């Protein structure tokens, strides 16, 4: 499987580095960590984080995760997203990409 991507507040990722694993609120609230495929990142950033700054996109290699990646359409949106039902070890992230805005203020991942 190719890399999967997770949008994170830079400060939260820094804090996770000290602990060795990342546990976003969705893990406690929903039981899993939301991820996206590369082509989904811009849309997710726009829909869920348009009012926030200081975000990064973690690039994670699924082979480095303690649990398998599950592709699901949990909200009947007609599109499957990768989910991981475990905390994310910080060493599973192979890159951290800043999430930048274009001239129109829209997030652009790539």
Domains detected in the chain:
4-101 (3.20.170.20)
Name the β-bridge partners of 16: none
Q: What's the pLDDT score for residue 74? A: 87
CA distance 107 to 110: 9
In this structure, what token pair is assigned to residue 48? 């869920």
Q: Which residues pair with 83 in a beta bridge?
A: 34, 70
pLDDT at res. 18: 75
* The pLDDT of residue 75: 84
The pLDDT of residue 77 is: 85
* Radius of gyration, CA atoms only, the chain: 13
CA atoms within 13 A on the CB side of 34: 16
Can you list the residues of the chain whose pLDDT is less than 50? none
């Amino acid at each position: 499987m190719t890399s999967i991507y997770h949008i994170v507040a830079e400060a939260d990722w820094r804090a996770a580095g000290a602990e060795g694993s990342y546990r976003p609120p969705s893990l406690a609230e929903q039981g899993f960590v939301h991820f996206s495929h590369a082509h989904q990142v811009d849309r997710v950033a726009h829909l869920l984080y348009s009012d926030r700054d200081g975000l990064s996109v973690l690039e994670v290699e699924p082979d480095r995760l303690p649990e398998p990646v599950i592709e699901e359409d949990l909200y009947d949106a007609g599109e499957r997203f990768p989910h991981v039902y475990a905390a994310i070890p910080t060493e599973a992230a192979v890159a951290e990409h800043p999430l930048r805005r274009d001239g129109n203020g829209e997030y652009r991942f790539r």
